[in-house]
Amino acid sequence: MKLKVFRIKICSYRLLLISSLPLLVLLGALYQYSSEEADKSFIPGQLVTVEKNQFHLLCRGSGSPLILLENGLWGSYPDWLYTIEGLDDTTKICAYDRLGLGWSSSNHQPTRASDVAKNLKGLLEAAGKNEPTILVGFSAGGLYVREYLHQYPENIVGMLLIDSSHEQQAFRRLDPPKDLSLEIFCDAVAWTGIARLLGLFDNYVEKSFSRVLHEDQLRSYNRTQFCSGLVMQSEGFVMDLMENRAPTDMGSLPLVVISAGKSIREQIVNDDVADDFLEDYDKVHPQLQKELALLSTNSTHLVAKNSGHAVQLESPDVVINALRNMVLEHRSKNP
CA–CA gap between residue 304 and residue 286 (Å, rounded): 12
Q: What is the pLDDT of residues 12-32, one digit of tens each?
A: 545 545 556 576 677 767 887
**Residue 63's closest CA among 43, 93, 86, 39?**
93
User: What is the pTM assigned to this prediction?
Assistant: 0.89
Tell me if 119 sits within 8 A of 144, measured CB to CB.
no
Domain ranges of the chain: 45-166+245-333
Q: Helix (H, G, I), strand (E, B), or coil: what is residue 227?
A: helix
Burial label, 314 (beta-carbon count in 10 A; 0-12, 13-18, 19+) = buried
Q: From CA 285, how far away is CA 262, in angstroms rounded? A: 12
Q: Residue 161 forms beta bridges with which residues?
A: 137, 257
Report which secondary-structure segment, H or E, holds 313.
Answer: helix 311-314
User: What H or E segment, with its residue span, contains residue 50?
Assistant: strand 46-50
The CATH homologous superfamily for domain 45-166+245-333 is Alpha/Beta hydrolase fold, catalytic domain (3.40.50.1820)
Does the CA dihedral 127-144-265-291 come out positive or negative? Answer: negative
**What would the pLDDT profile of 54-100 be if each residue is shown by its tens digit?**
999 999 999 999 999 999 999 999 899 999 999 999 999 999 999 99
283-313 pLDDT, tens digit per residue, is: 999 999 999 999 999 999 999 999 999 999 9
Q: Are 102 and 123 in contact (CB under 8 A)?
A: no
